[in-house]
């Protein structure tokens, strides 16, 4: 039997430039609420310069991601680039660096939530209130993600737009009320305030503001016309973010100038500063008249909400990255094990969420920024080197987008943006590790844990360290490449099988919203059909949520209640209503109580309105499927 090998089989390509931009900006834009204070703590009056320098490095990095993602439109970002350019080991190193980014995103976003809510209650603005509240945010969101509550995509987009509009408004109003070129010049006493070493450390920390570029890469499998939409959306994100970061720091340093070698923008709240809520500090130091109190409350609520969502996005990123790394046998299977009831990767969420909580306990935001820079610069550097390597090893491969600029070295034409960007991120990585012993130790421990786990696990699996070995998905029985425009995946009661969803994802046409999950709950004849069955209803919803985790945005679903013996007929009717081209079901196990499920399958096969694909319920490495 021939195996289908479509290039991209995970997610549906429905997202355009606007959707990619708004989602990415929602992640990138949240960082302004803490990055400004972190950078100012080191750079003082040179803070605007730091953001401009890091913005140039980011622009080169964005070009690298645009070229490589358009070339390989699949989730994974730098990890995927390294796999294609080098081997699985370097793919793991890049992915492990991304994992550190996600963990610190969770920690740093949650840590700053209470600082902005301090507009309502002062103790939240400093230790220990901020630590306990931040840990509470992670615990609550971790529990929510284990249960499997869906993301509110529309709300996220709305908040991203509101966020960008608010930041833009602050820049415009700030130019009229507080902007002062003379003050900005007077703020600088380079060599003393800041010192050269502090200025250099501030540059990689400034890159914290730009690391959300991974978001677009990880959504590549959902992008339509990816050769155009991905580069365009990345370009728009770069333009919007750089514009904000080029001007907002100047507004902030005009409103809170450097005096006696410091600025209240970099001073902790305990000492009367705004290091923990820098954007709120900007608002507080503007004379907004009768709008002052309302503006402070608005910014406090908006910032806390966006940081809350950024924390949740980090936890979702952890779960998705763990699942992806598990597919390529980079991490032990136990880490991506699904919860038996909620069907979510609960071990990964609890483990890495716990690590995030531990990093918050010292209450050192600057340390979190340095660790973030360590992981981000490592991943970015690998991405740049991978693009250079692909230009050398695969010069003739189709590139829907090519980054600007060429440089000739040793007779080879190399991408200028990747060379300059790679040098920038590599130097930034060296600076943040060499000039800070704590970052060096923490980063080395993180890498050691990851590499050791990788090596031991691969040896136990009998795999080489550089060998790519993706977990085998079930082979279809058809002898030619088949794609179905729409697929119905049907489950009855607790008969959920993730393999059935994987099969549907593999067979679904890539350019349609093609997978619908139907979960049927059997209601005894002794109870009314609309009887409340909270446990069964929660289990059914968990099944749909788990399918959504596996298949992404292309998966829709709902549950219904039926009488005993009616499930088969309802599945057939649903397939006709949605014009399904295939039905995927799980074969009954040979055990007591399987009769009803057997009757269901027999009914569907007898009256099938389309092809029926049956996924074996047998456990083991050789999962089989049949089609009728």
Contact 436, 201 (CB under 8 A): yes
The pLDDT > 70 percentage for the chain reads 85
Q: What's the confidence (pLDDT) of residue 442?
A: 92
Q: What's the confidence (pLDDT) of residue 465?
A: 92
Contact 522, 614 (CB under 8 A): no
The pLDDT > 90 percentage for the chain reads 28
Dihedral of the CA atoms 133, 137, 139, 140 (nearest 10)?
Answer: 120
Give the separation between CA 68 and CA 77, rounded to whole angstroms.
8
Kindly indicate the confidence band of residue 479, based on its pLDDT and cuts at 50, 70 and 90. very low
Kindly indicate the confidence band of residue 493, based on its pLDDT and cuts at 50, 70 and 90. confident
539, containing H or E segment: helix 534-551
| β-strands 582-586, 611-615 pairing | parallel
Question: Mean of the pLDDT values across residues 337-361?
Answer: 84
Q: Is the pLDDT of residue 476 over 70?
A: no
Radius of gyration of the chain (CA): 26
26, containing H or E segment: helix 17-28
Instruction: Give per-residue pLDDT as tens, 590-599.
Output: 544 444 447 8
Give the separation between CA 477 and CA 461, rounded to whole angstroms.
28
In the numeric block, which tokens belong to residue 306? Answer: 């966006």
Give the separation between CA 467 and CA 452, rounded to whole angstroms.
16
- Distance from chain centroid for Cα 524: 43
Residue with more model confidence, 75 or 63: 63
Contact 214, 316 (CB under 8 A): no
In the numeric block, which tokens belong to residue 140? Answer: 């609550």
Question: Mean of the pLDDT values across residues 477-504?
Answer: 73
Question: Mean of the pLDDT values across residues 462-490?
Answer: 67
Question: Mean of the pLDDT values across residues 363-371?
Answer: 86
Q: Is the pLDDT of residue 352 over 60?
A: yes
Residue with more model confidence, 188 or 493: 188
- Correct CATH for 487-627 of 3.30.70.360, 2.40.50.1070, 3.40.50.720, 3.40.50.620: 3.40.50.620
Identity of the highest mean pLDDT range in 150-159, 293-302, 617-626: 293-302
Q: Is the pLDDT of residue 498 over 60?
A: yes
Q: Where in the chain is the domain with CATH 1.20.1740.10?
A: 17-452
Q: What's the confidence (pLDDT) of residue 473?
A: 46
Kindly indicate the confidence band of residue 623, based on its pLDDT and cuts at 50, 70 and 90. very low
- Distance from chain centroid for Cα 510: 22
Instruction: Give per-residue pLDDT as tens, 386-407.
Output: 999 999 998 888 888 888 888 8
457, containing H or E segment: helix 437-460
Q: What's the confidence (pLDDT) of residue 592?
A: 44
Instruction: Give per-residue pLDDT as tens, 549-594.
Output: 888 778 888 889 888 888 888 898 888 888 888 899 887 765 444 4
Whether residue 128 is preceded by a cis peptide bond, meaning omega within 30 degrees of 0, is yes
Q: Where in the chain is the domain with CATH 3.40.50.620?
A: 487-627
Give the separation between CA 383 and CA 385, rounded to whole angstroms.
6
Query: Would you identify the CATH topology of the domain 17-452?
Result: Amino acid/polyamine transporter I (1.20.1740)
Backbone angles phi, psi at 449, to 5 degrees: -60, -45
Helices then strands, each counted (H, E), the chain? 21, 8
Q: What's the confidence (pLDDT) of residue 223?
A: 66
C-alpha closest to that of 47 among 59, 62, 58, 35 = 35
- Distance from chain centroid for Cα 268: 30
């Amino acid at each position: 039997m021939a195996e289908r090998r479509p290039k991209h089989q995970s997610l549906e390509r429905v997202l355009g430039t606007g959707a990619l931009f708004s989602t990415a900006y929602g992640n990138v834009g949240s960082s302004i609420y803490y990055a400004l204070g972190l950078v100012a703590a080191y750079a003082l009056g040179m803070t605007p310069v730091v953001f401009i320098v890091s913005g140039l490095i980011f622009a080169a990095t964005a070009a690298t991601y645009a070229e490589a993602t358009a070339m390989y439109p699949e989730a994974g970002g730098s990890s995927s680039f390294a796999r294609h350019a080098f081997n699985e080991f370097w793919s793991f190193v890049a992915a492990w660096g991304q994992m550190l980014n996600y963990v610190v995103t969770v920690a740093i976003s949650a840590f700053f939530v209470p600082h902005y809510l301090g507009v309502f209650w002062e103790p939240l603005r400093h230790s220990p209130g901020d630590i306990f509240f931040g840990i509470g945010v992670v615990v609550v969101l971790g529990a929510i993600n284990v249960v499997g509550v869906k993301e509110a995509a529309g709300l996220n987009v709305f908040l991203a737009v509101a966020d960008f509009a608010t930041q833009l408004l602050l820049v415009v109003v700030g130019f009229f009320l507080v902007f002062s070129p003379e003050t900005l010049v007077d703020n600088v006493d380079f060599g003393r305030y800041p010192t050269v070493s502090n200025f250099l450390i501030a540059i990689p920390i400034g890159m914290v503001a730009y690391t959300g570029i991974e978001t677009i890469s990880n959504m590549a499998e959902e992008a339509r016309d990816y050769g155009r939409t991905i580069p365009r959306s990345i370009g728009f994100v770069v333009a919007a973010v750089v514009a904000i970061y080029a001007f907002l720091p100047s507004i902030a340093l005009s409103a809170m100038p450097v005096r006696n070698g410091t600025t209240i923008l970099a001073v902790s709240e305990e000492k009367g500063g705004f290091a923990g809520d820098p954007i709120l500090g900007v608002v507080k130091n503007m004379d907004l008249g009768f709008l002052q109190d309302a503006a402070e409350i608005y910014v406090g609520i908006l910032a806390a909400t966006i940081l809350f969502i950024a924390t949740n996005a980090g936890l979702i990123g952890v779960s998705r990255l763990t699942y992806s790394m598990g597919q390529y046998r980079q991490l032990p299977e136990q880490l991506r094990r699904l919860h038996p009831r909620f069907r979510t990767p609960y071990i990964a969420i609890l483990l890495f969420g716990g690590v995030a909580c531990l990093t918050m306990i010292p209450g050192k935001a600057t340390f979190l920024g340095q660790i973030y820079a360590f992981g981000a610069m490592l991943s970015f550097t690998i991405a740049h080197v991978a693009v250079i390597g692909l230009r050398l090893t695969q010069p003739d491969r189709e590139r829907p987008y090519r980054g600007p600029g060429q440089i000739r070295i040793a007779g080879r034409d190399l991408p200028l943006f990747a060379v300059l960007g790679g040098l920038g991120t590599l130097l930034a990585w060296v600076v943040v590790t060499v000039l800070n012993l704590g970052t060096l130790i923490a980063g080395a421990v993180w890498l050691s844990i990851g590499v050791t786990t990788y090596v031991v696990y691969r040896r136990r699996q009998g795999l080489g360290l550089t060998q790519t070995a993706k977990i085998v998905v079930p082979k279809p029985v058809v002898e030619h490449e088949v794609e179905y425009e729409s697929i119905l995946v049907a489950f009855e009661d607790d008969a959920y099988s993730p393999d059935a969803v994987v099969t549907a994802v593999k067979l679904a046409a890539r350019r349609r919203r093609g997978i619908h999950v139907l979960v049927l709950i059997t209601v005894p004849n002794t109870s009314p059909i609309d009887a409340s069955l909270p446990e069964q209803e929660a289990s059914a919803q968990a099944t749909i949520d788990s399918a959504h985790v596996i298949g992404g945005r292309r998966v829709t679903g709902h549950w219904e209640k039926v009488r005993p013996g009616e499930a088969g007929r309802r599945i057939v009717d649903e397939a006709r209503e949605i014009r399904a081209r295939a039905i995927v079901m799980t074969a009954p196990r040979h055990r007591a109580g399987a009769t009803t499920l057997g009757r269901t399958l027999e009914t569907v096969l007898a009256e099938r309105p389309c092809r029926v694909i049956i996924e074996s319920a047998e456990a083991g490495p050789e999962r089989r499927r049949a089609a009728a």
